[in-house]
Structure 1
Amino acid sequence: MADHERFTVATDIKVYFCDPQNPWQRGSNENTNGLLRQYFPKGLDLSIYTQANLNEVAKRLNERPRKTLDFETPTKRFHQCVASIG
């Protein structure tokens, strides 16, 4: 992210870069990879799936309660954020 400093100043959101080859520094990323592996084993060619298949998996994952969201779904949290904006 080339403009991370400008982004941080504009949004007051801290940017953190993980060290290469240190997956434990990317906890939610690694968790998401694990969830995806339930549907798509590592090394699988995703081109064998239709967009509809991929959309269905995304829907299932976004409707799955997450501990990090106090057992709410990502979909519900997203809609709450959108509603609070406007």
Structure 2
Amino acid sequence: MGLINRLLFAKPYASYQRGTNENTNGIIRRTWPKKMALGDLTKEEVWETELLINTMPRKVLGGRTPLEVYTGKSIALIA
């Protein structure tokens, strides 16, 4: 549950986190609606959404994905 909490909530007094935080919440809510019991999710379901979030280009990262920033390598998103 720690991973979910870190994704859903910004740190207190860290206003610079709100924009990215709200964007990430929107991505999560496209998959799982509000008031859904997140504790019932399987590890595979969480992993799929984590992969979606980490492979989505972000404006704040200059069009790069979080995965590209973390690994330092470019990924092809063309299927």
- For residues 34-65 of structure 1, what are the alpha-carbon distances to aligned partners after superposition, in whole Å with 9 as ceiling and x for unaligned? 11111111111112320111011101110111
Pairwise mapping of residues 1-86 of structure 1 onto structure 2 (< 5 A)? 17-18=13-14, 26-80=18-72
- Pick the structure with greater CA Rg: 1
Change in CA separation of 1:18 and 1:79 when aligned onto 2, cut-off 3 Å = closer
Question: Which runs of at least 4 in structure 1 moved beyond 2 Å after TM superposition?
Answer: none
> Where do 5+ consecutive residues of structure 1 fail to align?
1-14, 20-24, 81-86
- How many residue pairs match? The answer is 62
- For residues 11-50 of structure 1, what are the alpha-carbon distances to aligned partners after superposition, in whole Å with 9 as ceiling and x for unaligned? xxxx97158xxxxx72211111111111111111112320
Give the TM-score taking structure 2 as reference length. 0.66
**Partner AA of 1:35 in structure 2:** I
> Where do 5+ consecutive residues of structure 2 fail to align?
1-10, 73-79
CA contact (8 A) 2:24 2:53 kept: no
Change in CA separation of 1:79 and 1:18 when aligned onto 2, cut-off 3 Å = closer
Q: Kindly indicate whether structure 1 or structure 2 has the higher relative contact order, using CA contacts under 8 Å at least 6 residues apart.
A: 2
